[in-house]
Structure 1
Amino acid sequence: MAHPDSSPPPRHPHWLGRSLLWLPWVLGLVGGIYALGRFTADIPVAYADAPSHFKYGSTGGERESGFPYWIWKVLPKVCPEHLPGDGYRSIGFTYEPGKDLPIGVSKRFNLGIDRVFLNCAACHASTVRDAPGAAPAVYLGMPAHRLDLKGFETFFFNCAAGPKFRSEFIVPEIEAAAGRLSPLDRYVVYPVAISLMRERLLMLRERFAFAFEQPDWGPGRVDTFNSAKILFNFPMHQLPKKELLGASDFPSIWLQGPRMKRDDGERMELHWDGNNTRTEERNKSAAFGTGTTPPTIDLRAVGRIEQWLLDLTPPVWPYAIDTEKAERGKTLYAATCAACHGASGRDFAGKYVGHVTPIADIATDRARLDSYTYTLAVNQSTLYAGYPHRFQHFRKTHGYANMPLDGLWLRGPYLHNGSVPTVRDLLNPAADRPTRFWRGNDIIDRDRLGFVSDVAAEPDRQYFPFDTTEPGNGNGGHEGAAYGTTLAPEDKDAIVEFLKTF
């Protein structure tokens, strides 16, 4: 009989050993599936109706340029010293009631987190108030005359260059706003995102250094094609100074369908200088401003906006019109203006509509014209190489294009560089136009047609002092008998009254 103390030790079941052997593989598989599902997902926030899609839908820019949503959200609290006031509102972004993001900012789940960036509405939607203190009305398709895009860029650049663009400052603000993060997000995802975002912003800050040497753009303006030169790695510090002053106003984008054809059967010449005749290329080019690149652009989303804009009409003038004066103005307009700007706000017929007028004739500030060069046009022809929609129609011109005037009441200030505050001022000789005024007000000047421009501030708003003596801001040109500046004052007033019907 065996002694009790000599019994063999207990043996673990074979299945337990095998389970422990497989456990790391199972955990790795589960983790891999989670990582694959989270970090490869690419899901834009979708909107059923076209106006909401325009205001908040993605163009694909978040894939390449998107900011992590929660970093975007808390950064004004981390770096308030780099903003003029309360958050993104202080640089002209518009928030609708109940919306978490401002108009013109879209969201997409990409690389494991929600990311946000600008879309088309950032530059092509804005507000109008009837009076100080009145609720603003949002109009889609009008120029974003209150958005300080350079201020937006400067905020991110300066914050990234400062001491607080670090996890120890940003992550606590995220948790204060979003609640406690998971260990993965707190110790891995957001620290990595913050580091990558900082490095990217500092790189762009160096590349865009030329912009800090320009006069301030002010709200409603952008230097479109000098930014494009960055994309092509132009040596900005070696370019002639006359190329580096291209700031001009955001355009309106209504009624794109009628802009596809002019009286002679050809396409209208688009952009301020008429450097392209294809709305499709113009739109894809503009999408670069929303952070897209040829591999990342969401063509379906952009195409949806294109279709909607074909027939989008501007809102009608909401105030009283002196019909008798407007009728007299119609006759004067037909004789003086219609050949270049169309018969009305819906009828774009006119011998010179959509044609470029040589700079020697129009004589407006030439900085925007000089900023767009033949070399840039050649480089743009390489965009989308290998795709069916490769760019083919960009070209260098030698003047500015004659535009239809639909929705003119929402398009102030006027001329390509926004150097004339009202239409009535534009009908005066250049010597009689204001040399200094304030941009960014959204109250309509009902008499002179434009936005109120003689108010420097309201209790909760500061407006931008625009100086027409600064390089690139000249308010000359578009004057003489052919442009109506020699008409009698009462005739000019009548034309203004008629233009309210556009």
Structure 2
Amino acid sequence: MTTQHTMQFTDEGGRRWRRLRNGIAGALSALFVFLLLSSRYAPNRPVTYEGIEDHFRYGTIGADTESGLPLRVVQVLPRMFHEYLPAGRGDYTAFGFIQEPGHPMPIGFSIRRRFIDLVGLNCAVCHVGSVRASEDSAPLRYLAMPANTVDLQGYFEFLFRCVEDERFTPDLVIDEMEKDGALFPLERLTYRDAIERMKNGLLRQRDRLSVFTLGNPPPGPGRVDTFNPYKTRQFADYYKGHIADEERIGTVDFPSIWNQGPREGMHLHWDGNNTSASERSVSAAFGAGATREDVDLPRIARIHEWLAGLPPPAFPFERDPDAVKLGRGQALYAQYCASCHAIGGADVGRVVPIEEIGTDEHRLNSYTRTLRQLQVSYGRGYDWEFRHFQKTHGYANQPLDGIWARAPYLHNGSVPTLWDLLTPAERRPARFYRGHDVYDAVRVGFRVDVREVDGRRAFLFDTSLPGNGNQGHTGARYGTELSDSDRWALIEYLKTL
């Protein structure tokens, strides 16, 4: 072989080696970029929590998928559209949400990694409450307690006003986002599309919800319309933008959700329209924004199992040490309350006809036989298929465990304290402030005279408005004709439950 042939062979071998080396390097680079992007943009991966309490506060129930909003966009809205926030606050605590240090969003918001981080609501948004002894004291927070400070409708109205604003454009929103850190080119492209989708989705939701929100009394903090949103989302094709006047108002107080094990088989929801605690949990997930395809049954089941044995919180304030008064209160409880409200009582969990209980009928009327049939059809063929929903004709007797933390009282939150509940209906406050967490440890309920806490104003509740009536649950059988001394004794015992 000649020297020239040898050189040609050597050059060809070198070129092959360089091509192989470059190919390997390119493959490794592509693998590195893929791994980097997969880590940063991993699709459909919720943030998970090992501890059950953190899982309850921040874990997903499936509402951060189809209904999820871009996290970084949601985070800049209070800064970009601060004029739409309630006066005095510059973040989402303006709507009564509880913000914990080190978390990107308040309690009740879950995060999902899906090309860009999405945020959605979970159980805790309605079921973590706050209590403080005075305007100046630090709040105590209780899991599974009604979210007494949270104004959900106010939060959504804020979102609607933001996307209606002419400044809500991809360019301007991205500019605001980049004040918190630059975006990669791929992120910018992804966010441009996400911002447009967010705008269109929220405007569509605004138009659907307006069917029953316009003209209705505002719920205010600590309350929500449980079932009418079904009529504007899941069943919009059936209702076609029309809800009959007699069923347009279904506002209720957020309930407590501790100690669920003994409640299995009782009539649940305020009107007792379901006897399955697990079905109720799935139904609530749809109310928070989950769809039947995305509802996260394993994570909901984890919460459900924990709540089954979660005890109610103990009364956190000083109690009357008079043992005689406490004993008298216990006897009065056995006489007037236990059969309907003690676990194991003859009538606990039973639906009392509206003609008998006499409380505001709007929530009862909002749930109809038609809605029940639509729910059954909606779940047919799915693992969570609804089998226990039913139309009732009254409100269900609920156990009173942790009753001190469940103020205001009655299904619509129209009676501020236990003292007021034990007085004849005509003597109950007609208007009072609610939505703050300053507690009246004597009357047992939130104080009605506190108009502002930490710069956040309270909500003036008016019992003369439709759905807000404070009538009913009155008369001798309900203890409203007791002497004052007996009322105080009964209240002292109710603090122990």
In the alignment, structure 2 segments of 5+ residues that lack a partner are: 1-11
Question: Take 1:212 and 1:34, find their aligned partners in 2: how far apart are those partners?
Answer: 47
Question: Take 1:449 and 1:439, find their aligned partners in 2: how far apart are those partners?
Answer: 14
Residues 16-55 of structure 1 mapped to structure 2, 5 A cutoff: 41-55=43-57
Residues 82-101 of structure 1 mapped to structure 2, 5 A cutoff: 82-84=84-86, 85-101=89-105
Question: Take 1:236 and 1:458, find their aligned partners in 2: how far apart are those partners?
Answer: 42
Alignment correspondent of 2:490: 495
Q: Is the 8 A contact 2:42 2:113 kept in 1?
A: no
Question: Take 1:457 and 1:442, find their aligned partners in 2: how far apart are those partners?
Answer: 10
Instruction: Summarize deviations over 1:342-372 as a string: whole Å, max 9, x none.
Output: 1xxxxx1111100000000000000000000
User: Secondary structure of the residue that 2:75 maps to in structure 1?
Assistant: helix
Distance verdict in 2 for CA 1:268–1:287, change over 3 Å: same
Q: Which amino acid aligns with 2:263?
A: R
Moved more, 77-86 or 35-44: 35-44
Q: Which amino acid aligns with 2:383?
A: P
Alignment correspondent of 1:293: 291
In the alignment, structure 1 segments of 5+ residues that lack a partner are: 1-11, 261-266, 343-347
Question: Take 2:37 and 2:201, find their aligned partners in 1: how far apart are those partners?
Answer: 24
Question: Take 1:139 and 1:27, find their aligned partners in 2: how far apart are those partners?
Answer: 51
Q: Is the 8 A contact 1:275 1:394 kept in 2?
A: yes
Q: Report the alpha carbon displacement of residue 321 of structure 1 after superposing the two structures with TM.
A: 2.0
Alignment correspondent of 1:205: 206
Alignment correspondent of 1:461: 456
Question: Take 1:37 and 1:313, find their aligned partners in 2: how far apart are those partners?
Answer: 39
Instruction: Summarize deviations over 1:191-228 as a string: whole Å, max 9, x none.
Output: 11100110001111110112132111000000010011
Q: Is the 8 A contact 2:436 2:453 kept in 1?
A: no
Q: Which amino acid aligns with 1:182?
A: F
Question: Take 2:135 and 2:454, find their aligned partners in 1: how far apart are those partners?
Answer: 10
Q: Which amino acid aligns with 1:337?
A: C
1:248 and 2:252 correspond: yes
Q: Is the 8 A contact 1:146 1:440 kept in 2?
A: yes
Question: Take 1:130 and 1:475, find their aligned partners in 2: how far apart are those partners?
Answer: 26
Q: Report the alpha carbon displacement of residue 285 of structure 1 after superposing the two structures with TM.
A: 0.2
1:426 and 2:427 correspond: no
Q: Which amino acid aligns with 1:89?
A: T
Question: Take 2:340 and 2:278, find their aligned partners in 1: how far apart are those partners?
Answer: 24
Q: Report the alpha carbon displacement of residue 14 of structure 1 after superposing the two structures with TM.
A: 8.9
Q: Report the alpha carbon displacement of residue 255 of structure 1 after superposing the two structures with TM.
A: 0.4
Q: Which amino acid aligns with 2:69?
A: F
Counterpart selection for 2:138 from 122, 135, 152: 135
Q: Which amino acid aligns with 1:334?
A: A
User: Secondary structure of the residue that 1:108 maps to in structure 2?
Assistant: strand
Q: Report the alpha carbon displacement of residue 453 of structure 1 after superposing the two structures with TM.
A: 1.3
Q: Report the alpha carbon displacement of residue 384 of structure 1 after superposing the two structures with TM.
A: 2.8
Q: Which amino acid aligns with 1:73?
A: Q
Alignment correspondent of 2:122: 119
Alignment correspondent of 2:73: 71
Question: Take 1:385 and 1:82, find their aligned partners in 2: how far apart are those partners?
Answer: 42
Q: Is the 8 A contact 1:143 1:251 kept in 2?
A: yes
Alignment correspondent of 2:328: 328
User: Secondary structure of the residue that 1:53 maps to in structure 2?
Assistant: helix
Question: Take 1:199 and 1:358, find their aligned partners in 2: how far apart are those partners?
Answer: 43
Sequence identity (%): 47
Instruction: Summarize deviations over 1:320-360 as a string: whole Å, max 9, x none.
Output: 22233221111011111111111xxxxx1111100000000
Question: Take 1:357 and 1:219, find their aligned partners in 2: how far apart are those partners?
Answer: 27
1:445 and 2:440 correspond: yes
Counterpart selection for 1:313 from 294, 302, 311: 311
Question: Take 2:135 and 2:41, find their aligned partners in 1: how far apart are those partners?
Answer: 48
Alignment correspondent of 1:263: none
Alignment correspondent of 1:183: 185
Q: Report the alpha carbon displacement of residue 37 of structure 1 after superposing the two structures with TM.
A: 7.6
Question: Take 1:357 and 1:279, find their aligned partners in 2: how far apart are those partners?
Answer: 19
Task: Give the superposed CA RMSD.
Answer: 2.4
Q: Report the alpha carbon displacement of residue 385 of structure 1 after superposing the two structures with TM.
A: 2.1
Question: Take 1:127 and 1:397, find their aligned partners in 2: how far apart are those partners?
Answer: 32
Q: Report the alpha carbon displacement of residue 293 of structure 1 after superposing the two structures with TM.
A: 1.2
Q: Report the alpha carbon displacement of residue 433 of structure 1 after superposing the two structures with TM.
A: 0.2
Question: Take 1:130 and 1:37, find their aligned partners in 2: how far apart are those partners?
Answer: 46
Alignment correspondent of 1:283: 281
Q: Report the alpha carbon displacement of residue 39 of structure 1 after superposing the two structures with TM.
A: 5.8
Number of positions where the alignment pairs a residue of Structure 1 with one of Structure 2: 475
Distance verdict in 2 for CA 1:59–1:388, change over 3 Å: closer
Q: Which amino acid aligns with 2:485?
A: E
Counterpart selection for 1:484 from 476, 479, 487: 479
Alignment correspondent of 2:261: 257
Distance verdict in 2 for CA 1:333–1:105, change over 3 Å: same
Alignment correspondent of 1:264: none
Question: Take 1:168 and 1:72, find their aligned partners in 2: how far apart are those partners?
Answer: 15
Alignment correspondent of 1:165: 168
Q: Report the alpha carbon displacement of residue 28 of structure 1 after superposing the two structures with TM.
A: 13
Question: Take 1:428 and 1:212, find their aligned partners in 2: how far apart are those partners?
Answer: 34
Question: Take 2:143 and 2:454, find their aligned partners in 1: how far apart are those partners?
Answer: 27
Q: Is the 8 A contact 2:44 2:113 kept in 1?
A: yes
Q: Is the 8 A contact 1:79 1:164 kept in 2?
A: no
User: Secondary structure of the residue that 1:378 maps to in structure 2?
Assistant: helix
Q: Report the alpha carbon displacement of residue 34 of structure 1 after superposing the two structures with TM.
A: 7.8
Question: Take 1:301 and 1:104, find their aligned partners in 2: how far apart are those partners?
Answer: 14
Q: Is the 8 A contact 1:103 1:121 kept in 2?
A: yes
Question: Take 2:64 and 2:101, find their aligned partners in 1: how far apart are those partners?
Answer: 24
Q: Which amino acid aligns with 2:324?
A: E
Q: Is the 8 A contact 2:72 2:177 kept in 1?
A: yes
Moved more, 387-396 or 267-276: 387-396
Question: Take 1:28 and 1:65, find their aligned partners in 2: how far apart are those partners?
Answer: 35
1:228 and 2:218 correspond: no
User: Secondary structure of the residue that 2:465 maps to in structure 1?
Assistant: coil
Instruction: Summarize deviations over 1:258-289 as a string: whole Å, max 9, x none.
Output: 111xxxxxx20000000000011100000112
Q: Is the 8 A contact 2:208 2:241 kept in 1?
A: no
Question: Take 1:40 and 1:180, find their aligned partners in 2: how far apart are those partners?
Answer: 19
* TM-score (structure 2 length as normaliser): 0.91
Q: Report the alpha carbon displacement of residue 38 of structure 1 after superposing the two structures with TM.
A: 6.5
* TM-score (structure 1 length as normaliser): 0.90
Question: Take 1:119 and 1:332, find their aligned partners in 2: how far apart are those partners?
Answer: 39
Q: Report the alpha carbon displacement of residue 382 of structure 1 after superposing the two structures with TM.
A: 1.7
